[in-house]
């Protein structure tokens, strides 16, 4: 199968619509990461996503819609708290969990009774979904376990020959996946951290917001139990005595003939002299934007990535969650 990479145009959207209607897959940009979309009403189409990615079948997909008024078509009930979340955060980088309606593919929801719904803010994503005039279920458009794709080339590297079309909308803005939330008894639970953080949810809703990430033995969001975002080389995070420990780790690796690279905060750049460095940015937003791209750039050229913990900005939790997973839990 030949994989086309096309810039957004009327011709591209028409082709995308044709492919989706015929049960094929299309990769598309969103403000978080690139998604791999299929018609959410068709089991056969949705199955192709799991095959193309090598994704475990018990990990449900997010349902992407192009208009808020479509939510009611795919869910059983919309509570007051759901309405507040929709009003404040949609469209945007949030996926909200509802009880699913009967018409949705059981494959997309991994056999569960709930569905995560998201309306992307990205205009190309909205246009693609509305052109198709179908609900589009989509996970990130990477091979399972790999860093998520933040540009069209990342998608091509992972899925070339497996899908027919990638819509190239340039680099994604946020760089890490959506915040996943569920509501129970007027309490909002964060199942996956993202750009919309605990403080933002509390401020907008005036409700209790509970962080369920990594605080439970049984993962609440099924996807969180799998290895994720792993680069091909080793990776380790440094959270305590950051600069000293980073230098120590780096120099020890060099002494044993390894080639390390430091992913650091702009403020610490000077401290590392002429060691191999990639500056992720000045805060957790910049670093989230750059992380997956830099992991893919570094993994083939270095033996180990030593990544600094970022403690500033709005995306501290989301970034830490991705970095610690990419490091397979290795942290000093
Ligand atoms: P991805 O965007 O590829 O990382 O995959 C979607 C994420 O949303 C995964 O972590 C899923 O486990 C999570 N997710 C999707 N649907 C649900 C659901 N109904 N309940 C809980 N988590 C979900
Ligand atoms: Mg993913």
Q: What is the pLDDT of residue 224?
A: 60
- Provide the whole-model pTM: 0.95
Q: Which of 192, 213, 321 to mutate to test the pocket of ligand 1 (most atoms within 8 A of CB)?
A: 192
Q: Which of 29, 191, 230 to mutate to test the pocket of ligand 1 (most atoms within 8 A of CB)?
A: 191
Q: What is the pLDDT of residue 221?
A: 61
Task: Please list the residues that pair with 96 across neighbouring strands.
Answer: 117, 181
Q: Does residue 140 have its Cβ closer than 6 Å to ligand 1?
A: yes
Q: What is the pLDDT of residue 212?
A: 85
Which atom belonging to ligand 1 lies closest to the Cα atom of 100?
Answer: 19
Task: Please list the residues that pair with 306 across neighbouring strands.
Answer: 236, 262
* Regions in the chain scoring below 70 on pLDDT: 214-227
Q: What is the pLDDT of residue 215?
A: 44
Residues 265 and 281 sit within 8 Å (Cβ to Cβ): yes
Q: Does residue 96 have its Cβ closer than 6 Å to ligand 1?
A: no
Q: Closest residue (by CA) to atom 21 of ligand 1?
A: 221
| Helix 316-326 / helix 284-298 crossing angle, nearest 10 deg | 20
Q: What is the pLDDT of residue 104?
A: 85
Q: Does residue 158 have its Cβ closer than 6 Å to ligand 1?
A: no
Q: For residue 217, what are the contacts with CB-CB under 8 A and spacing of at least 6?
A: none
Å from CA of 134 to ligand 2 middle = 22
Q: Closest residue (by CA) to atom 12 of ligand 1?
A: 223
């Amino acid at each position: 199968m030949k994989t086309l990479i096309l810039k957004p145009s009327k011709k591209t959207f028409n082709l995308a619509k044709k492919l989706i209607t015929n049960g094929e897959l299309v990769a598309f940009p969103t403000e978080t990461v690139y998604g791999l979309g299929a018609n959410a009403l068709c089991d056969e189409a949705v199955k192709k996503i799991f095959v193309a990615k090598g994704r475990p079948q018990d990990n449900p997909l997010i349902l992407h819609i192009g208009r808020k008024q479509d939510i009611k078509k795919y869910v059983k009930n919309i509570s007051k708290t759901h309405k507040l979340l929709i009003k404040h955060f949609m469209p945007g980088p949030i996926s909200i969990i509802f009880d699913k309606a009967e018409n949705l593919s059981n494959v997309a929801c991994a056999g569960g009774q709930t569905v995560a719904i998201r309306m992307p803010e990205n205009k190309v994503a909205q246009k693609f979904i509305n052109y198709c005039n179908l609900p589009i279920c989509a996970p990130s458009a990477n091979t399972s376990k790999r860093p998520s794709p933040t540009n069209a080339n990342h998608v091509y590297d992972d899925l070339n020959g497996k899908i027919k079309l990638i819509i190239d909308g340039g680099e994604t803005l946020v760089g890490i996946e959506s915040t996943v939330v569920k509501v129970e008894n007027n309490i909002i639970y964060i199942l996956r951290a993202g750009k919309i953080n605990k403080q933002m949810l509390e401020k907008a809703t005036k409700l209790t917001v509970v962080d369920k990430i990594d605080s439970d033995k049984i993962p609440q969001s099924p996807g969180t139990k799998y290895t994720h975002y792993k680069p091909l080389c080793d990776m380790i995070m440094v959270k305590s005595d950051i600069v000293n420990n980073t230098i120590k780790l780096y120099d020890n690796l060099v002494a044993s003939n390894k080639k390390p690279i430091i992913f650091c905060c702009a403020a610490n750049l000077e401290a590392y002299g002429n060691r191999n460095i990639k500056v992720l940015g000045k805060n957790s937003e910049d670093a989230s934007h750059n992380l997956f791209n830099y992991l893919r750039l570094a993994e083939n050229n270095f033996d180990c990535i030593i990544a600094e913990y970022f403690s500033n900005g709005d995306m501290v939790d989301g970034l830490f969650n991705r970095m610690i997973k990419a490091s397979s839990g290795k942290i000093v």
